[in-house]
Each structure stands twice: as structure tokens, then as C-alpha cells.
Amino acid sequence: MKLTPQAIEHLLDHWPVARLGTLAEDGRPHQIPVVFVRCGEALWTPIDGKPKAGGLLARTRNVRRDPKVSLLLDHYEDDWKRLWWLRVDGSAEVHNPADPEADPEIAPVLAALRHKYPQYRDVPLLSGRPTLIRVQTLDVQSWCAAPEAFAAA
Amino acid sequence: MKLTPQAIEHLLDHWPVARLGTLAEDGRPHQIPVVFVRCGEALWTPIDGKPKAGGLLARTRNVRRDPKVSLLLDHYEDDWKRLWWLRVDGSAEVHNPADPEADPEIAPVLAALRHKYPQYRDVPLLSGRPTLIRVQTLDVQSWCAAPEAFAAA
């Protein structure tokens, strides 16, 4: 069965982690876990200041080459009646604002990220050339194992 | 930094959930959470008997069309020093054994799944036409935020 519309809205606003699926240059599917925030009509995920693996900016290169992405939110636990997932199919674009804190589109995204993730008090939200990926939602699919799988608080 | 080889081996044997990334017919990246087991040199994920969304067998269609897949294991928690991910890039094939419990390649996979997931005492492991996806590992990438991010038990 599907998640309720209320659950979907709640998860898009509050769930802390998603997996970003993109298309790699060699035609392979690429996946990476990301933090994200909903701001306006889009979902935004920053390339933040945490240490990265060498190839990590693959996500940025992939999106520049092909905007087709998916964002997967899900929950696993041993009680399989509690399983659910939510997948956003979207179109992504890379933003490199020159002055992010003053950018009228970007500043609210940074504020929303800092509100959702108190970790950004210690972790630099932006480093080097500021990079954020904006995902415009094209479709939302969901599944849950049972009505009690997810209940918005 | 990368996960240690010991951590990678442990996670591939014991972590309960992965996200399977495939290529959809329309060229989009597709993601779905899956259970999996390592058996021999491959990772196997079954299409088990839990209720499915209508389009869920997309993963099977996708793999039949294009074997390029990724499996992403990751961990999120509020303490970002504990974050890690592990991605397997692989080549997948769909198996539809006629007599799975007697199939010399498939029977050990079913036994390993039942051992790893006690939930299969209650959830049918196979239903309808038995379907399992075998993923041959081509490459493994990993990242962790700090040496203490993951310690094999």
C-alpha cells in the first residue's frame, strides 16, 4: 500500500536522509546518501563541508551531464510491518551561488538546512565553491508494508 | 576516508538493508530498498512475498534490460562522525529457478537469507514465480566520516 499524503508531506519536511540516484558518465546508476531540505517547491541537497571521498563530487558532474535523478527515503527495522519507502523522481540542477547568504533563492535554503540540521553549528555548511543541487519533483511513489508503518508525529 | 577492508566484509555479510539502483526504461535512475545476502562471490536479493506496490517489479524489468546496478549500504544518525556508506557497483541477472529449494545454486542462497532474516519464518520468502536478482561485484567504494564511524562487532 501507499503512504498517506500526510505522511509523504511530513517525511519530505522532516526525514533526515535520502539517497540521491544519478546517472554516471559510463551509463551506470550512481547512488549516494545525502541530507536535504524542502524549500519552496523543490528539494535541495548541499555539497557540505564534511570530508569527502575523492570521487564524491561525481554527483555534481552527473547532474550537470544529465538532470534525471531520484531521491529515495526509506526506513528499515527488524519489524517488517514498519517498512516504508518514498521515492521522488525529479529533475536536478546544480547551483553555484557567488554570494549564497545574500542570494534571494539560496539564503532561505541555507536557513532551512541550518534549522533542520543543528549539526551545521559545527560542520561547515558550505566550503570552497558553494554547491547545492536543486531537485524539482516530477513524480512521487511510495510503499508501506502496513497502515501502521509510518505515522506522522 | 574509506571504510577498512574488515568493515566492508562485515557489512556485506551482516548489514540488513541496501538500496538497489537500476536503470529504468525511460533512462531514469531507479532506486528501491532491498534485503540481500552474500553467498559465494555474489550478492543476492530476492523478490520476496511481502505485499508490493503495483510497479515494484520495475527492478526486475530494469535488470533484464540493463544489468548495470549499484547497491548502496549506508548509516545515518545525528552524530555525523558516525556516518558511513558503502557502494557496490555490479552486474545483475535475474534468476527464476523452477525448483528453487532443489537448485544447487539457489538453495544455499535461500538458506542464507533465512539465516540472516528470521523474519522469513513469518513472511513467505518466495511467492508466485520465484525471482532472485544476483549481483556480481565489479567495484566497491566507501566513505566514512571518521575512524570510529563503523567498528565491526
How far are the Cα atoms of A4, A68, A115, B2, B127 from residue B18, in angstroms, in the given order?
Answer: 24, 21, 29, 18, 21
Q: Count of A–B CB contacts within 8 Å?
A: 105
Q: Among positive and negative, which fits the CA dihedral B32, A33, B82, A46?
A: negative
**Average pLDDT of span B13-27:** 97
- Written as one letter, the residue type at B73 is L
pTM value is 0.94
Which residues of B fall below an 8 Å CB-CB distance to A?
1-2, 16-17, 19, 21-23, 27-33, 50-53, 55-56, 68-70, 72, 74, 76, 78, 80, 83, 85, 87, 89, 119, 123, 141-143, 145
The whole domain housing A20 covers: 5-149
Q: Which chain B residue's Cα is nearest to A117?
A: B78
Which residues neighbour A92 within 8 Å (Cβ) at sequence distance 6 or greater? A22, A63, A67, A68, A69, A133, A134, A135, A136
CA distances (Å), origin B28, targets A19, A68, B54, B133, B148: 15, 6, 18, 20, 36
Partners of residue B84 on adjacent β-strands: B75, B144
Contact A35, A113 (CB under 8 A): yes
Nearest to A141 among B21, B53, B74 (CB): B53
Residues 6+ apart with CB under 8 A from A111: none
Q: pLDDT digits over A83-134, tens only?
A: 999 999 999 999 999 999 999 999 999 999 999 999 999 888 887 778 999 9
pLDDT digits (tens, 9 = 90+) for A22-77: 999 999 999 999 999 999 889 999 987 666 655 448 999 999 999 999 999 999 99
Task: Yes or no: say if A49 and A131 are a contact pair by the CB < 8 Å rule.
Answer: no
* Torsion, CA B76, CA A85, CA A140, CA B45, rounded to 10: 100
Closest Cα in chain B to A15: B76
Size of chain B in residues: 153
pLDDT at A111: 96
Cell of B34: 532491498
Q: Residue A151: what pLDDT? A: 73
Task: Assign residue A102 the CATH number of its domain.
Answer: 2.30.110.10
Mean pLDDT of all residues in B40-55: 78
Question: Which one of A15, A65, A72 would you mutate to disrupt binding with B, by most B Cβ within 10 Å of its Cβ?
Answer: A72
Question: What does the alpha-carbon distance between residue A30 and residue A20 come to, in Å, rounded to a whole number?
Answer: 8
Q: Count structural domains, chain A.
A: 1
Residue among A21, A50, A141 whose CB faces B145 most closely = A50
Check if the beta carbon of residue B44 is closer than 8 Å to that of residue B36: yes
Assigned C-alpha cell, B32: 528501491
Residue A52: the pLDDT is: 65
Tell me the residue length of chain A.
Answer: 153
Query: Of B21, B32, B123, which is closest to A85 when you measure between CB atoms?
Result: B32
ipTM for the predicted complex comes to 0.94
